[in-house]
Structure 1
């Protein structure tokens, strides 16, 4: 790799489970592009914007951040704002790959949906999903074949994140039963932060009627290409124009690893995760192309929650790494005094 021919950039946008209190808030009022993008989201959210902003900035949100009405819209907003921050540096990604709600954010960055239309679609989605029965998700250090005997009823494979990282989803009772059986069999399991059974049939009734909302908004061909974690292939015009494709995403399984394999089969990339945490970065580092050093991973935010300074330092480090990889960075200077300072820790 040389400065004349740097690796093409692919943005990775995380989804449910990566949220945490105060995620990325250290950049709010500090990075102008990020701040503007978040404010645009809150404004587009109308009456919901104020409560969403308050809970995002609160150490103890009034509504739990793992609740669908907070995790989904705020993850969408943070992914989108971080993606716009990277674009503002002059970085032109060759591809986008989002996980769960991250796919909708990637579609906005690629111009498939307008921002205000997408915000309306997200809020419509979470309003529907909030009425679904309670449930959850379980990460299992096992292959899909290994978890197969433990699936029953509404407990299904909700996501394939890596060859031996499978996410199960379903109602709490059956999911807990499957988790106990897997643990007794020697498999390592942990609950994913979620109060909903994303990517399972439990959410099917709640998604009824969502297709009509997607049918009513304009859609464009993506630029750059969006690699879908639902088809494990670049979005086609048929995918984009199909309202049911978008409406069923909360029910359909996420095929992140096959999608990542498809992306890297087109050539090596500089994979930049734009979202809270480093979950997708950790998964991507397992890929053979990354392990042999021909593809590289950069995370925009810290692996774990921390003070505002940690968010800012992580972004600066990420920009330096992208620059060192041969990409010209023309970053806007942060504001000197935070216009929207993060609140002091509550007692």
Structure 2
């Protein structure tokens, strides 16, 4: 067997009750969720019983999905499975900072709360929307994006690119897609993320990480792949801060990230968090890869059982 990578979910995969059984059955998860609840009172009530609208609000979504992502990672580690590399999709990159040793779990949770708040403010200033466009030629899509003043932001896998922008411009763009009979799906997110509309959030993150003495940026213990570059994070603290902060205004180069991980010897990918979307991206990008998703105790136990066969 080659290397194992943990992949961490982003916004859009959230649902009420996510990770509850892992929280109830894995001590390490239970203990850390208690720390998170103390930092952000009401978090667990939202996570386990929040309404769809409440969970969709960015300043709620980000800390909640962070916890679901890290719950799966902690449970895997408790079961003896450790990653050789990590990557996180959008907000999932914050979890990747934790799993690679750049930040402690507590500090990363505080950071994702700040990130969610900053991005919520930016999203409120400009009402936005995001749609996943399916099986459209990349160059034609990028050309249409320029025409309708929207942005191709998530290069997920072959045949799927997410477009983001102002809500009214996205409506005109999707009307064009309808005319062209191109399939698309609206995403359950509350803003035009990974666009220039997030500039204030980027600036806020840079200021937070550079001026708040709470954060001590460490060199990563294992490779962490950047959404912005699809390559491994740089080593210097200043460059790491820029890479992380600028991610919110940059496109997510997920397909290239997976291809680079494959080139670097990763052949087993474990999606950590509430969804199975990233596993689907891996399957479409790297058909020969071995893929698992850990969302609850059943999927955790099945994954551990399969990986034990390699021991």
Question: Aligned to 1:32, which of 1, 15, 27?
Answer: 27
Aligned residue number for residue 131 of structure 2: 138
The answer to whether the Cα contact below 8 Å between 1:9 and 1:269 also exists between their aligned partners in 2 is yes
Aligned residue number for residue 182 of structure 1: 177
Task: Trace 1:138-157 onto structure 2 (pairs within 5 A).
Answer: 138-141=131-134, 142-152=136-146, 154-157=149-152
Paired with 1:123 and 1:269, the residues of 2 have a C-alpha distance of 32
Secondary structure (helix, strand or coil) at the match of 2:18 reads coil
Paired with 1:180 and 1:239, the residues of 2 have a C-alpha distance of 44
Secondary structure (helix, strand or coil) at the match of 1:286 reads helix
Root mean square deviation, CA, Å? 1.9
1:160-211 deviation per Cα after TM superposition (whole angstroms, max 9, x unaligned): 0012110001111111211121122121101111011110111113433321
Paired with 1:237 and 1:131, the residues of 2 have a C-alpha distance of 30
Aligned residue number for residue 236 of structure 1: 234
1:250 and 2:245 are equivalent in the alignment = no
1:77-126 deviation per Cα after TM superposition (whole angstroms, max 9, x unaligned): 21122111111222221111111011110111111012222222222222
Secondary structure (helix, strand or coil) at the match of 2:247 reads coil
1:131-155 deviation per Cα after TM superposition (whole angstroms, max 9, x unaligned): 2222121100134313123214651
Aligned length: 303
The answer to whether the Cα contact below 8 Å between 2:132 and 2:184 also exists between their aligned partners in 1 is yes
1:119 and 2:119 are equivalent in the alignment = no
Secondary structure (helix, strand or coil) at the match of 1:166 reads strand
TM-score where L is the length of structure 1: 0.82
The answer to whether the Cα contact below 8 Å between 1:137 and 1:167 also exists between their aligned partners in 2 is yes
* CA drift at 1:34: 2.2
Paired with 2:156 and 2:5, the residues of 1 have a C-alpha distance of 17
The answer to whether the Cα contact below 8 Å between 1:154 and 1:201 also exists between their aligned partners in 2 is no
Paired with 1:155 and 1:212, the residues of 2 have a C-alpha distance of 28
1:96 and 2:86 are equivalent in the alignment = yes
Paired with 2:272 and 2:195, the residues of 1 have a C-alpha distance of 26
Aligned residue number for residue 336 of structure 1: none
**Residue ranges of structure 1 left out of the alignment (5+ in a row):** 1-5, 302-310, 328-347
Question: Aligned to 1:162, which of 154, 157, 163?
Answer: 157
CA gap of 1:242–1:97, structure 2 versus 1, over 3 A, is closer
CA gap of 1:26–1:76, structure 2 versus 1, over 3 A, is same
The answer to whether the Cα contact below 8 Å between 2:227 and 2:247 also exists between their aligned partners in 1 is no
Paired with 1:35 and 1:240, the residues of 2 have a C-alpha distance of 34
TM-score where L is the length of structure 2: 0.91
**Residue ranges of structure 2 left out of the alignment (5+ in a row):** none
Secondary structure (helix, strand or coil) at the match of 2:24 reads coil
Secondary structure (helix, strand or coil) at the match of 2:121 reads coil
Secondary structure (helix, strand or coil) at the match of 1:75 reads helix
Question: Aligned to 2:41, which of 50, 65, 78?
Answer: 50
Paired with 1:90 and 1:225, the residues of 2 have a C-alpha distance of 19
Q: Max radius of gyration: which structure?
A: 1
Higher helix share: 2
**Could you list the runs of 4 or more consecutive aligned residues of structure 1 that deviate by over 3 angstroms after TM superposition?**
238-242
